[in-house]
Amino acid sequence: MSAIYLDRLARVRSVMADLGVDVLLLSVGHDLPYLTGYYAMPLERLTMLVVPREGDATMIVPRLEAPRVQDQPGVFDLRPWRETEDPTAIVAGLVGDARNIAVGDQM
C-alpha cells in the first residue's frame, strides 16, 4: 500500500519542482488521505502533513489521535504533539527557511 502513496508524493514533488514550491502544507480535506491514506478528524486541534520538495514528509497530529494513523513506511514520519507543545511552532520548524509555500485549499 505504501507504494501507492510514494508514487503520489513523487508526482506531487515533481509539480512542486516545476512550480518552484519549497514545501506543501496539507490539513483536513481530500488531499491528506490521497497522499497518506489517513482521514483526519475535523477537530480544532492541528493535524498537518508537511511535504518538503526534498526530504521526508512529516505528519503532525495530536498525541491522542496518533494511534488512528496507519504507519506508511517511507511515506511520512509521524510527529505526535502533546498538550503542552505548540503544533504551529513544530510546523514552522519543519518549514524552516522555505520561501515558497503551498497550502491546501481546504485547510
Residue spans of beta strands (DSSP E) within 4-47: 23-26
Q: What is the CATH number of the domain that holds 96?
A: 3.40.350.10
**Domain total of the chain:** 1
User: Bridge partners of 79?
Assistant: 60
For the four alpha carbons of 72, 99, 61 and 34, in that order, the dihedral sign comes to negative
pLDDT at 1: 67
Select from 20, 27, 15, 31 the least CA-distant residue to 100.
20
Cell numbers at 37, concatenated: 491514506
Whole domain around residue 15: which residue ranges? Answer: 2-103
The whole-angstrom separation of Cα 70 and Cα 78 is: 10
Cell numbers at 48, concatenated: 498537518
Residue spans of beta strands (DSSP E) within 1-107: 23-26, 48-52, 57-62, 76-81, 101-103
pLDDT at 29: 85
pLDDT along the chain (107 residues), means of 10: 91 97 93 92 90 95 93 91 96 96 86
Contact of 65 with 41, CB cutoff 8 Å: yes
pLDDT at 48: 96
* Whole-structure pTM value: 0.93
